[in-house]
């Protein structure tokens, strides 16, 4: 299945940070679509420092960041010409501030890929004629894609757009015209797709080539929208650092996820060939809260250490073409408890099922330590420690499609670790 180089780059990002920040940050207790008024005079992040956000992102090892530019409430984090409900009419910097600019500038300063979130639907949008609302939507998106340099990723939230008709062709034409290399999340002409939950868990098998996608949290779980044709769509798994709230709350600090839980989510996402996207709500100062930041850095520290050269077991692998097996000979016997697999980028999503066997150190037949489904960008296979001198990875089935070359793929990487 054909894919863009930007989609492969997206998979290589692996780990991103989501920032829900806006008018709702200053109004405790509001929920999506509660239609409650949030006056502009409440927005005043006097110590806003997107550089602080990016320093923490960088220290944690995340490769991309996404800012909520406009959520369902309609508040624009930039001085949009097409609404009065924006930063330009707030006390912050006497109406001369621009959160989007500060965010995009900070991303580039720290070498972090730039993602912008925009909710197509907002309070009252269903009461407006479709044409008028499409114009408003396109005008605002055009501001975001014209005034802030190269944008790597545009994140559309489907929540609230159920059964709403947009001029999809016109919208996509404008977006692709303004930013030809941009990646679009989940809607209309998607390059990436939502996993279908907001808990950070990818499914297994995790196919990249799909014919359906999940659209919104307001659609029934397990129901998906059909695509016109099968598409190459990497999966992204978004979730909250805190249990309930996407935006900052001063009442839920005790619900910050433990390091063990975040490590588990890492295995369920990146370990299954998906991207991990963790949300932190900047506080009312405009800074990332201390405890959330510390936990994010702890997660990054685990990832960096666990799969470092110090923990990698030296080995060489060769393919047995007759059996679709790969034999990994260790330079010397060692304990292992992880095997990381990758497929070649030009033919991702070919492996359907596989097994990993380890040979006992002295003699005897190999022991199965792991059975898996799909490899794709990366499969992190974790199992109890095993002392061995040789490992065998066998591919048992392939995901060949009608329009795909039936030549069997080779694995790009087989790496052994003791973590």
In this predicted structure, what is the pLDDT of residue 403?
A: 47
Assigned token pair, 418: 């003791």
Q: What is the mean pLDDT of the chain?
A: 92
Of 107, 10, 6, 11, the C-alpha closest to 66 is 107
For the chain, the structural domain boundaries read 5-306, 310-417
Q: Which element (helix H / strand E) includes 416?
A: strand 411-417
In this predicted structure, what is the pLDDT of residue 196?
A: 92
Tell me the pLDDT tens digit for each residue of 98-121.
Answer: 999 999 999 999 999 999 999 998
Assigned token pair, 108: 């580039």
Q: Is the pLDDT of residue 49 over 80?
A: yes
What residues does 394 pair with on adjacent strands?
A: 325, 355
Domain 5-306 classification at class level: alpha beta
Burial of 322 (0-12, 13-18, 19+ CB in 10 A): exposed
The pTM of the whole model exceeds 0.75: yes
| Residues 294 and 29: beta-carbon distance below 8 Å | no
In this predicted structure, what is the pLDDT of residue 406?
A: 47
What does the alpha-carbon distance between residue 369 and residue 357 come to, in Å, rounded to a whole number? 6
In this predicted structure, what is the pLDDT of residue 399?
A: 84
What are residue 275's phi and psi, to 5 degrees? Answer: -95, 145
CATH architecture designation of domain 310-417: Sandwich (2.60)
Edge-first strand listing for the sheet containing 15-19: 183-185, 153-156, 113-118, 64-70, 15-19, 275-280, 235-240, 193-194
Neighbouring residues of 322: CB distance < 8 A, sequence distance ≥ 6: none
Tell me the pLDDT tens digit for each residue of 327-340.
Answer: 999 999 999 999 99
In this predicted structure, what is the pLDDT of residue 402?
A: 42
High-pLDDT (> 90) share of the chain, %:
78
High-pLDDT (> 70) share of the chain, %:
92
In this predicted structure, what is the pLDDT of residue 409?
A: 63
Tell me the pLDDT tens digit for each residue of 357-381.
Answer: 999 998 999 999 999 999 999 999 9
Q: Which element (helix H / strand E) includes 240?
A: strand 235-240
What residues does 278 pair with on adjacent strands?
A: 17, 239
Of 283, 351, 229, 267, the C-alpha closest to 24 is 283
What are residue 384's phi and psi, to 5 degrees? Answer: -60, 150
Tell me the pLDDT tens digit for each residue of 168-179.
Answer: 899 999 999 999
What does the alpha-carbon distance between residue 418 and residue 369 come to, in Å, rounded to a whole number? 14
């Amino acid at each position: 299945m054909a894919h863009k180089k930007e989609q492969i780059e997206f998979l290589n990002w692996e780990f991103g940070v989501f920032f829900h920040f806006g008018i709702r940050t200053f109004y405790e207790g509001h929920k999506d679509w509660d239609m409650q008024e949030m006056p502009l005079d409440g927005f005043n992040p006097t110590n806003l420092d997107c550089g602080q956000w990016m320093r923490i992102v960088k220290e944690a090892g995340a490769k991309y960041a996404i800012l909520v530019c406009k959520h369902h409430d309609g508040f624009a984090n930039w001085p949009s010409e097409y609404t009065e409900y924006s930063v330009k009419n707030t006390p912050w910097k006497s109406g001369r501030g621009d959160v989007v600019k500060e965010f995009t500038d900070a991303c580039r300063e720290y070498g972090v890929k730039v993602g912008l979130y925009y909710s197509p639907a907002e309070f009252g949008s269903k009461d407006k004629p479709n044409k008028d609302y499409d114009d408003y939507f396109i005008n605002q998106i055009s501001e975001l894609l014209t005034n802030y340099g190269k944008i790597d990723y545009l994140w559309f939230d489907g929540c609230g757009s159920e059964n709403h008709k947009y001029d999809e062709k016109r919208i996509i034409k404008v977006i692709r015209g303004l930013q030809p290399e941009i990646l679009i999340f989940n809607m209309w002409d998607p390059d990436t797709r939502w996993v279908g939950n907001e808990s950070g868990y990818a499914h297994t098998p995790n196919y990249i080539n799909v014919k359906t996608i999940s659209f919104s949290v307001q659609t029934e779980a397990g129901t998906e929208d059909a695509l016109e044709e099968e598409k190459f769509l990497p999966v992204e798994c978004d979730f909250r650092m805190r249990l309930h709230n996407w935006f900052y709350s001063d009442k839920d600090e005790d619900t910050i996820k433990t390091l063990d839980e975040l490590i588990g989510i890492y295995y369920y996402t990146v370990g299954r060939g998906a991207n991990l996207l963790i949300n932190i709500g900047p506080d009312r100062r405009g800074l990332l809260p201390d405890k959330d930041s510390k936990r994010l850095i702890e997660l990054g520290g685990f990832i960096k250490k666990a799969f470092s050269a110090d923990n990698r077991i030296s080995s060489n692998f060769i393919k047995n073409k007759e059996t679709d097996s790969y034999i990994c000979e260790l330079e010397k016997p060692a304990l292992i408890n992880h095997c990381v697999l990758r497929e070649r980028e030009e033919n991702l999503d070919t492996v359907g099922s596989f097994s990993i066997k380890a040979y006992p150190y002295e003699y005897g037949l190999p022991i199965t330590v792991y059975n898996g489904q799909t490899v794709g960008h990366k499969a992190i296979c974790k199992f109890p420690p095993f002392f061995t001198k040789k490992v065998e990875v066998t591919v048992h089935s392939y995901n060949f499609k009608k329009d795909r070359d039936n030549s069997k793929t080779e694995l790009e990487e087989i790496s052994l670790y003791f973590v």
